[in-house]
Structure 1
Amino acid sequence: MPFRFPSGTVRLGAVTACALALTTLLGCSNGGGGGGDTATESATGPSTGGGTRITIQDFKFQPASLTVSAGAEVTVVNKDTTTHTVTASKGGSFDTGDIAPGKSATFTAPSKPGDFPYTCTIHPFMKGTLTVE
């Protein structure tokens, strides 16, 4: 049995109502599945208390440059399709080890202030800098 749409004015109203409902639902979503992106929030200054996040996606560290307080906990989330690491380039001050796709790891930032370049040991072209204040 074929479905028949009501006449033009009613159909336009129903379509408009559906579009409005969809727009409202999408407008309320932050797309992140939760309480905000701490990497973006802390990328402009030192992290305070709640930790800091580096996200790996599309073979990039996001943010690539991050400033944290000495001894801050840094969580690394791998949203990519392959395993990665976050490994200090010099001095071995931090190393997450292998982080599988969809998994995360946490490390403690060095206790001394300074700039700490890091890389993915599996994909050396991936580079970032952790600045400790």
Structure 2
Amino acid sequence: MPRPPRHRPRGPGPVRLAVAVSAVFLAALTGCSGGNGGTAPSRSHTPTTAGPGAASPAGARITIKDFTFKPAALTVRPGARVTVVNQDSVTHDVTATGPKAFRSGSIGPGRTVTFTAPAQPGRYRYICTIHPYMKGSLTVR
């Protein structure tokens, strides 16, 4: 007696589908932060990153905690190194809103990024582009 033909189900199997859905959910949950939005910072403002517990270089510091920048207003000298520490459980960034003077790139939970403050004195407002209600200002003098 001949065997009936084997039929393969079309489309992804239930395990592959579950993995794909989980990956999409995880990306949405973490702010879809796989990079810096396709825009690389200028050479003089290239951020450096360090893992949790890394020593902070001498200079100014911004801490991100509870979806706020602390301090919300910081004053530094031209060209100062500014260290940003993310103490939240989600990814954030620090991006100037006016003249695009600085951009930290994505800062994962527990990570630290350091960028160079603009050389030109002035007040630079910034936000977290992932959570635009997070606002702060950097005054260079």
State the TM-score bracket (shorter-chain normalisation). 0.5 to 0.7
Q: How far does residue 95 in structure 1 lie from its aligned partner after superposition? A: 0.4
Structure 2 counterpart of 1:131, one-letter code: T
For 1:110-125, list aligned pairs within 5 A: 110-125=118-133
1:99 paired residue number: 107
CA distance in structure 2 between the aligned counterparts of 1:125 and 1:50, rounded to whole angstroms: 29
Give identity over the alignment, percent. Answer: 58
Structure 1 counterpart of 2:82, one-letter code: V
Secondary structure in structure 2 of the residue aligned to 1:131: strand
1:132 aligns with 2:140: yes
CA distance in structure 1 between the aligned counterparts of 2:112 and 2:102, rounded to whole angstroms: 15
Secondary structure in structure 2 of the residue aligned to 1:112: coil
Gaps of 5+ in 2: 1-52
Structure 1 counterpart of 2:129, one-letter code: T
Structure number with greater CO (CA < 8 Å, separation at least 6) is 2
Q: How far does residue 118 in structure 1 lie from its aligned partner after superposition? A: 0.2
Structure 1 counterpart of 2:127, one-letter code: T
CA distance in structure 2 between the aligned counterparts of 1:82 and 1:114, rounded to whole angstroms: 30
Q: How far does residue 50 in structure 1 lie from its aligned partner after superposition? A: 2.6
2:71 paired residue number: 63
User: Considering only aligned residues, what root-mean-square deviation do their CA atoms show, in Å?
Assistant: 1.9
4+ residue runs over 6 A deviation: none
Higher helix share: 1
Deviation digits for residues 1-55 of structure 1 (CA, Å, limit 9, x no counterpart): xxxxxxxxxxxxxxxxxxxxxxxxxxxxxxxx9x9xx9xxxxxxxxxx9311100
Pick from 68, 84, 98: which aligns with 1:90?
Answer: 98
Deviation digits for residues 87-133 of structure 1 (CA, Å, limit 9, x no counterpart): 00012110011000000101100001000000000000000000000
